[in-house]
Chains A and B, each alone.
Chain A
């Protein structure tokens, strides 16, 4: 097909798409209009029934708890897949470290100072997000990602994650497994103590707005935080082991 013929086909399709889009947009409800019933019900029961002042977390961990569990296992599977795909590619180190070798950091002092200054606040924000998931915006997923970001800052600033060739599991691997298992166990606790899988009411009601309230939703947030942070750190570490650890031992 020549270039001009291609342009004609494109022009016709683009005009057709534009017409359809214009018709579709004309039929949309007005800006900010909400006609769903589901949201109103959630807003009505979140605090009286579950003492969860953050209706979003209440929705994610209670109303559609099983969906959230499956989503969590997507992250879990992604980390496992990254390990399975990348670990067998792991090459032998260029050469063994010898006594007298010094590790020369690749990063500048400015980057290392910034990294050191940022890690603490990042971890505090992450823990804050996880702990207050049922009360204020945030939760296990958000906090977990921020926690993993803290680990990435550490590495980017010049820390090291050399995985030894004999591969003992990383702490993060245990953490992400424990988080995934914890979520399921908390779901089973709902089945045992309250009669339904992932029922969150068995852990007590609490006063809305307090740290320990909203039944088992805070516990589910902690499990999710462990799972997500562990999985992301595992994925990042597997990639990093491959290349960015260019901190090969240098002879002094």
Chain B
């Protein structure tokens, strides 16, 4: 195992723990993106560029965006209910 791989393994573990320990959903959504990108770097370091590209797309972009959109949706519903 090279030093880069070891460092990235630790980074992924740290980022994953941060996501799990964050309580605010908005912050959690942003950290999910950071976690996704660090996982992509890990895949690249382990010579899996195809998987890394998928991970950048899914973990770095699609998943955080979906969570953000769902959060916006929930908040809109709450606002609407409060208005009534």
Contact = CB atoms under 8 A, between A and B. Distances in A.
B8 interface: no
Nearest to A55: B50
A32 B50 CA distance: 18
B72 interface: yes
Interface residues of B, number: 20
- Grouping DSSP codes into helix (H, G, I), strand (E, B) and loop, the B interface class, with mixed when no group exceeds half, is helix
A142 interface: yes
Nearest to B65: A152
A244 B75 CA distance: 11
B49 to A, nearest CB: 4
Nearest to B69: A239
B72 A56 contact: no
A96 interface: no
A129 B53 CA distance: 9
Contact of B72 (A129, A142, A243): A243
A31 B5 CA distance: 12
Interface string A3-45: 0000000000000000000000000000110000000000000
A239 B70 contact: yes
Given A31-B1, A149-B57, A240 B69 contact: yes
Contacts, number: 57
Contacts of B18: none
A239 B73 CA distance: 7
Contacts of B70: 239
Contact of A149 (B50, B52, B62, B75): B62
Contact of A145 (B51, B62, B69): B62
A136 to B, nearest CB: 8
B50 A138 contact: yes
Interface centre among A54, A142, A148, A239 (most CB of B within 10 A): A142
B54 A242 contact: no
Interface string A56-70: 110000000000000
A239 B49 CA distance: 31
B30 interface: no
A228 to B, nearest CB: 9
Contacts of B58: 145
B66 interface: yes
B20 interface: no
A145 B73 contact: no
A146 B57 contact: yes
Contacts of A232: 62
16 contacts: A56-B50, A137-B49, A138-B50, A141-B54, A141-B57, A142-B56, A145-B62, A146-B57, A146-B61, A148-B61, A149-B57, A149-B62, A149-B65, A232-B62, A239-B70, A244-B69
Interface of B: 1, 49-54, 56-58, 61-62, 65-66, 69-70, 72-73, 75-76
Given A56-B51, A232-B62, A239-B70, 7 more contacts: A137-B53, A138-B50, A149-B62, A149-B65, A152-B61, A236-B65, A239-B72
Interface of A: 31-32, 54, 56-57, 129, 137-139, 141-142, 145-146, 148-149, 152, 232, 235-236, 239-240, 242-244
